């Protein structure tokens, strides 16, 4: 459904952030994109959704193809109309608008007559939003705001939803709840999802396939089962070490393993 | 008592017209953070367009109003295209300076075409005196109030219910997030400027009907400042209530104290408000979740 082929992204014409990144998101799946801070995960999402331009970023090489259409030179508004919707990091709800007005904004590209029906669908997934439909979004709790951000995306009925760190700043229990809903949306609405996460453990639980990024490149990819067995992933992303073995910092050879990935 | 009613009605009319002009101002500020120093010129252009349509071309006044509104929309779109779009990404202060330039330019164009002499405006709204609660007032002033109220209701509906209105508020709130839902920021800016030009044109027509057409109409733009500072730069109800308060204040001061104090009283209010409550009565404070 989505192919990212060897893209290079440069900010402000000098800062090279993505250095030949490729990934593929097949229809109907949840694909996770994992990596440390500054690896370029958010930049990858913004390259896909066209939100790089206002930040002076540019795809200078490679191509992004969505359902056979090259989209890396298109404007964000046209990309949304093709069916790609990015839920930005940090929730970014419209604070001075009510919950329902936020959802209306999400439905901006949709025909007005389907609004009611879509609204009910969103309230079905997030009953809590219905209770707070007339409160200003700025006064919702963090979890409710994240629900609103995802609900707002659902209103656009996207084929592909790009989720940027939905767990950011939320209590573990809420994170589980939101991840369960993401999984349900994927299953029931058939929405394909590209998920960026720091919480590798959770992401691997719901993803069908995962990529691991470092320094603007994909360094590892595979199904969650395979990745979970990988020694590096266990150590760096899941925080697991061999059972019964004590780790001494003297023996740690992180840098060597990392070097192997980067070459 | 009669004087009081008289002054109240006069003040209300002026206040409503001020509020209309202020609405456009607030709208532009809300959507794009730009302070539009050319708002007074928008008002003046509206009045001149109506003058040209009715007197110089000889259209019936209903058609004249339509033509004026169309020109106002065109003006808004042109300003967005020629002045704002090239300045996207530049500091806001450059854009504000550009609107000052725009105001001089529009002044000059108007003086080039119509000269600098004020002209009598054919009263397209009859000014026959009406007696109301013991006070006598021109019917045109009552009309002005009615038109302003209708415009404000339309505004309220537009921003609460319509897709474009919601999109506009979304852009005002968080531009990038708005873009991520397929809202075209350029289109929203063009909308904001067009609607601002339109409300200014209507305000201009109402003023012209009462005091005639002339380049001095642009001074109304300056009088908008106390209104928006009082009401809050980014608040639409604030613009309306601020307009009414300033209008009434000027009328009462003019009637009871006089001596030209009514000319400055609103600016005294402006200074005081800036000192004690810089975001105005209804201005947006930043929401902070704790």
Measured from the Cβ of residue B204, the count of other Cβ atoms closer than 10 Å reads 32
Please give the DSSP secondary-structure letter assigned to residue B282. Answer: T
Which token pair is B119? Answer: 């002209």
Are the C-beta atoms of A183 and A206 separated by less than 8 Å?
yes
CA A204 and chain centroid, separation: 13
Instruction: Say yes or no for a CB contact (<8 Å) between B177 and A93.
Output: yes
CA-angle at A177, arms to A207 and B183, nearest 5°: 75
Task: List CB contacts (< 8 A) between B175 and chain A.
Answer: 54
Of B191, B183, B290, B34, the C-alpha closest to A94 is B183
Q: Which chain B residues are within 8 Å of A81, Cβ to Cβ?
A: 182
Q: Where are the alpha helices (DSSP H) in chain B?
A: 2-32, 39-51, 61-79, 92-114, 139-161, 163-173, 175-180, 185-211, 219-231, 236-252, 261-276
Q: Which residue has the tokens 């999402």?
A: A45
B175-202 pLDDT, tens digit each: 889 999 999 988 888 888 999 999 989 8
Residue B236 near residue B253 (C-beta atoms within 8 A): no
Average pLDDT score, chain B = 85
What's the pTM value of the predicted model, to 2 decimals? 0.83
| Inter-chain residue contact B180 with A93, CB threshold 8 Å | no
Measured at the CA of A91, the angle between CA B32 and CA A17, to 5 degrees, comes to 85
SS3 letters across A173-237: HHHHHHHHHHHHHHHHHCCEEEEEECCHHHHHHHCCEEEEEECCEEEEEECHHHHHHCHHHHHHC
Residue of B nearest to A154 (CA): B181
Residue to test with chain A: of B167, B181, B288, most A Cβ within 10 A: B181
pLDDT in tens for each of the 290 residues of chain B?
678 888 888 898 889 888 988 988 888 888 877 888 888 899 999 889 988 888 888 888 888 889 999 999 999 899 888 888 888 767 878 888 898 999 999 989 988 988 888 887 776 667 677 777 777 777 778 888 888 889 888 888 888 888 888 998 898 888 889 999 999 988 888 888 999 999 989 888 888 888 888 888 888 878 888 999 898 888 888 888 999 999 999 999 988 988 788 888 888 988 998 888 888 888 766 666 55
Ordered by where they begin, the domains of chain A are 2-262 (3.40.50.300)
- Interchain CB distance below 8 Å, B176 and A51: yes
SS3 B152: helix
Cβ separation of B182 and A80 shorter than 8 Å?
Answer: yes
Tell me which chain B residues have a C-beta less than 8 angstroms from the C-beta of A136. Answer: 287
Q: Which residues, including other chains, have CB under 8 Å from residue B68's CB and lie 6 or more apart?
A: B46, B49, B50, B53, B201, B205
Tell me which residue of B224, B209, B201 sits closest to B45, measured CA to CA.
Answer: B201
User: How many other CB atoms are there within 10 angstroms of residue B60's CB atom?
Assistant: 10
Half-sphere exposure of A202 (CA within 13 A, CB side): 20
A66 neighbors A160 (Cβ within 8 angstroms): yes
pLDDT digits (tens, 9 = 90+) for A191-209: 999 999 988 888 999 999 9
Strands (E), A123-184: 160-164
| Closest among A45, A50, A40, A36 to A15, alpha carbons compared | A40
Strands A30-35, A192-197: parallel, antiparallel or unpaired by DSSP? parallel
* CA distances, B213 to each of A112, B21, B120 (Å): 43, 16, 6
């Amino acid at each position: 459904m989505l192919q990212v082929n060897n893209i290079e992204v440069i900010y402000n014409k000098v800062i090279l952030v993505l250095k030949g990144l490729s990934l593929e998101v097949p229809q109907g799946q949840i694909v996770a994109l994992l990596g440390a801070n500054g690896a370029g995960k958010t930049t990858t999402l913004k390259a896909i959704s066209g939100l790089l331009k206002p930040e002076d970023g540019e795809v200078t090489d490679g191509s992004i193809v969505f359902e056979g259409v090259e989209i890396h030179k298109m404007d964000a508004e046209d990309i949304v109309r093709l069916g790609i919707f990015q839920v930005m990091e940090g929730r970014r709800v419209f604070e001075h608008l009510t919950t329902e007005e936020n959802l209306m904004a999400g439905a901006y590209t949709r025909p007005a007559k389907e609004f009611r029906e879509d609204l009910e669908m969103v309230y079905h997934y997030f009953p809590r939003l219905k209770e707070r439909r007339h409160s200003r979004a700025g006064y919702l709790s963090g979890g409710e705001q994240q629900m609103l951000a995802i609900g707002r995306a659902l209103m656009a009925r996207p084929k592909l939803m790009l989720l940027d760190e939905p767990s950011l700043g939320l209590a573990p229990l809420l994170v589980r709840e939101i991840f369960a809903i993401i999984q349900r949306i994927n299953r029931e609405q058939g929405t394909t999802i590209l998920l960026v996460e720091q919480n590798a453990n959770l992401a691997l639980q719901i993803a069908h396939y995962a990529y691991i990024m470092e320094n603007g490149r994909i360094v590892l990819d595979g199904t969650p089962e395979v990745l979970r067995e990988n020694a590096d992933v266990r150590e760096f992303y899941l925080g697991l070490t061999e059972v019964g073995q004590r780790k001494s910092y003297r023996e740690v050879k992180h840098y060597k393993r990392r070097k192997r990935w980067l070459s | 008592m009669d004087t009081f009613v008289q002054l109240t009605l006069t003040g209300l009319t002026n206040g409503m017209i001020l509020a209309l002009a202020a609405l456009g101002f607030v709208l532009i500020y809300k959507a794009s953070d730009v302070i539009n120093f050319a708002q007074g010129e928008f008002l003046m252009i509206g009045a001149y367009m109506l003058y040209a349509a009715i007197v110089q071309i000889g259209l019936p006044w209903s058609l004249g109003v339509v033509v004026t509104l169309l020109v106002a929309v065109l003006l808004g779109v042109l300003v967005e295209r020629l002045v704002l779009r090239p300045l996207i990404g530049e500091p806001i202060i450059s854009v504000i300076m550009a609107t000052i330039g725009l105001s001089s330019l529009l002044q000059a164009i108007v003086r080039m075409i119509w000269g600098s002499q004020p002209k009598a405006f054919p009263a397209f709204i009859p000014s026959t005196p009406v007696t109301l609660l013991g006070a006598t007032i021109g019917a045109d002033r009552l009309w002005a109030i009615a038109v302003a109220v209708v415009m404000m209701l339309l505004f309220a509906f537009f921003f609460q219910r319509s897709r474009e209105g919601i999109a506009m508020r979304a852009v005002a709130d968080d531009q990038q997030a708005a873009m991520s839902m397929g809202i075209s920021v350029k289109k929203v800016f063009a909308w904001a400027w067009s609607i601002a030009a339109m409300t200014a044109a209507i305000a201009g027509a109402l003023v012209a009907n009462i005091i005639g057409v002339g380049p001095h109409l642009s001074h109304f733009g300056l009088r908008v400042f106390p209104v928006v500072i009082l009401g809050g730069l980014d608040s639409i109800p604030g613009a309306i209530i601020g307009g009414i308060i300033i209008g009434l204040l000027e009328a009462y001061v003019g009637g009871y104290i006089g001596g030209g104090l009514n000319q400055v009283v609103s600016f005294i209010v402006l200074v005081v408000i800036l000192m004690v409550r810089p975001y105005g009565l209804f201005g947006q404070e930043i929401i902070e979740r704790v």
